[in-house]
Structure 1
Amino acid sequence: MAVLKTKEFYTLLRNDQVSKKEKYRIAKAKIARLLFGFNDRRGLLLKLIIYTMLVSIGFVYLYPVLYMFITSMQSLEDLLDSAVKWIPSTFYTENYSRAYSVMNIKDSLSGSLLIATVPTIFQVAVASIVGFGFARYNFRFKKLFFALMIFSFIVPPQILMMPTYRLFSTFELTGSLNAFIVPAALGQGLNSTIFILIFYQFFKQTPQSLYEAAEVDGANQFTCFFRIAVPMAVPAFIIAFLFSFVWYWNETYLTSLYLTSRSNDLTTILLQLQQFEQTYEAMYPVTENSPNRINEGIKMAGTIISILPLLLIYFFLQRYFVESVDRTGIAGE
């Protein structure tokens, strides 16, 4: 039976020449199609389930951020008042001004951007070259090198931290940005294996006939890489850069291990967040009945400041981020 439009359906129900049994059958079929759908159209029930799941999952992800933001906007009186839950009584920004001064945002933000950007550029460049080499060429011990690369990713990084620290100390890499640049330039940055595999998969899918045609026209290997491989792997470059940037930005243990082992002025936002309470107490000494005592609102303001740069980056690059993840077929950690 053809699908009746809404107007035709009501006209049919008001038609006295149609029996009640036939009207009931048509109404039942109409309601079934509305609830469960037909052909490729989703029914109302399926849409309700999907939207309920999306809202629930979204709430689980957004609740911590909403809680941090609302708490950061509450004064000490609101925090102590049990009646104030989600809506602060006043628009209180003093928490952010104090957190801004405690975290030394100017120096820590520049340090975070430096540590996240420079090693990421080296890591993406080297990973693309290594991935291109594995995908394009056959050479002796290729499978062995590939297996060793996978094995280096399987080994827990905690096992290698102390030997790596001893090695970096020997070459005087600790206490400077070189502790991150040199490993990234040698293909041993944070999770470099993942990026090599991404580029390997992309370059493996490139038709060999394109390289052969370019070589017939006189192109060398560098030309093939920069004129053929790189333009076709733009999504891989985007996703590798974004993930590498986020991982370097969020890395705190290695940053504190390599940078704070020697006297160094280079710091990051997350290192300042780790030392937030001690720095706050040093800048705002606490006396008896002092209003300077640290509270949950000030801590949450510092946390919001620490994640704000990444939120802004994702907001402006969301379209490229989603498209690249979809084309590379990987999931974030």
Structure 2
Amino acid sequence: MTVTRHLLLGKEADKGLLFRLFIYLLLSDIAFIYLSPVLYMITTMVKNAADLLDPAVIWVPHTLFTGTLSDAWHKINFPAAFRISLSLSLAVSILQTFSCAVAGYAFARLDFPFKRFWFACLLLSFVVPQQVIILPELIVANQIDLMRTYVPIIAPALFGHGLKGALFVIIYRQFFATQPKELEEAARMDGAGLLRTFFRVMLPLAKPAILVVFLFSFVWTWNDYYTPGAYLIGATEVPLSLGLSQITSQLNEQALEMGPSIFDEPVKMAGSFLIIVPPLLLYLFTQRWFIESVERTGLIE
């Protein structure tokens, strides 16, 4: 009786078989909630006309039809759009990774006038939504003839701002604040100045924060629809994040000419699949380092 009780309930609360079964069931339910839309999108985009019209076919199609995926590939001009998205995301993420590191180190280690005031302004820029300030930004960009260019998207990252830039500064500030001051004192005793201490001592230690900021910046810039949609109105070459709007406009034109098609929604899902695959592959190869870096930066506390 005691052996059975220990097997089912365990000697500790989290060691029993029933507890583990409950955890696995809970995790399976949560995983299904998050994965079911993606699985439905994938199964829908590979259905042919017969499977789309058959109400009994929901998850597993009878045949794999790749014509929808090919149609979405050509509608969004995937090679060109992928090249633009990759270049834009890399440029923004690299600039934000460096500039936010400088700002985060300054807030964590340096004393300068009105430090608390500027940090409050940083928090304010993080709280205020982008939709509130987009109109004056568009006016300024139009006055200096930067509309339909990528400069208004890349330039803020050069100065530690841009999409979620305030959050990245806070991540670096939290990381640098936890480092022992003896490292900087030893560097000063060796004759290192401020810049040399930062580049030779503190920045190499910030590899976990660098990886977290780079991946966050890359994925968020890749998925950002609002900012490119505001600055690239009328542009012929746009990133993948605007691919769905291109597909929708082309499908609407086809619907006006030939009427709606049962493949309209599958084409949109195929376009969504093409957009999310690169970040998923990136996370697939970097998840172990990413999780370790998140733990070391203290974001989960």
- Structure index of larger Rg: 1
- The match for 1:37 is 10
| 2:271 partner letter | G
- The match for 1:55 is 28
CA deviations 1:298-324 (Å, max 9, x no partner) are 222111111111111111111112112
Residues of 1 paired with 2:157 and 2:151: CA distance? 10
SS in 1 for 2:147: coil
- The match for 2:58 is 85
- Quickly say closer, same or farther: Cα 1:178–1:303, change in 2 above 3 A: same
Q: Would you identify which runs of 4 or more consecutive aligned residues in structure 1 move more than 4 Å? A: 280-286
8 A Cα contact 1:199 1:236, kept in partner: yes
2:272 equivalent to 1:272: no
Unaligned stretches of 5+ residues in structure 1: 1-26
Residue 173 (structure 1) shift: 2.5
| 1:319 partner letter | R
Residues of 2 paired with 1:271 and 1:265: CA distance? 11
| 2:237 partner letter | L
TM-score by length of 1: 0.85
Residues of 1 paired with 2:269 and 2:130: CA distance? 30
Q: How many residues were matched structurally?
A: 300
8 A Cα contact 2:104 2:176, kept in partner: yes
8 A Cα contact 2:43 2:60, kept in partner: yes
Residues of 1 paired with 2:12 and 2:55: CA distance? 53
- The match for 2:267 is 298
8 A Cα contact 2:212 2:290, kept in partner: yes
Unaligned stretches of 5+ residues in structure 2: none
Residue 233 (structure 1) shift: 1.0
Residue 270 (structure 1) shift: 2.0
Q: Is 110-119 or 38-47 further displaced after alignment?
A: 38-47
8 A Cα contact 2:13 2:19, kept in partner: no
CA deviations 1:157-208 (Å, max 9, x no partner) are 2111101111222232322111112111122211111110110111111111
Residue 280 (structure 1) shift: 4.2
- The match for 1:4 is none
Residues of 2 paired with 1:297 and 1:171: CA distance? 41
Residues of 2 paired with 1:68 and 1:31: CA distance? 45
- Quickly say closer, same or farther: Cα 1:267–1:95, change in 2 above 3 A: same
2:294 equivalent to 1:321: no
Identity %: 38
Partner residue of 1:255 out of 219, 228, 232 = 228
- The match for 2:145 is 172
8 A Cα contact 1:150 1:193, kept in partner: yes
8 A Cα contact 1:102 1:283, kept in partner: no
CA deviations 1:95-135 (Å, max 9, x no partner) are 11111111100111111112211111111111000011111
| 2:88 partner letter | I
TM-score by length of 2: 0.93
* Superposition RMSD in Å: 2.0
SS in 2 for 1:45: helix
Residues of 2 paired with 1:181 and 1:49: CA distance? 47
8 A Cα contact 2:211 2:290, kept in partner: yes
- The match for 2:67 is 94
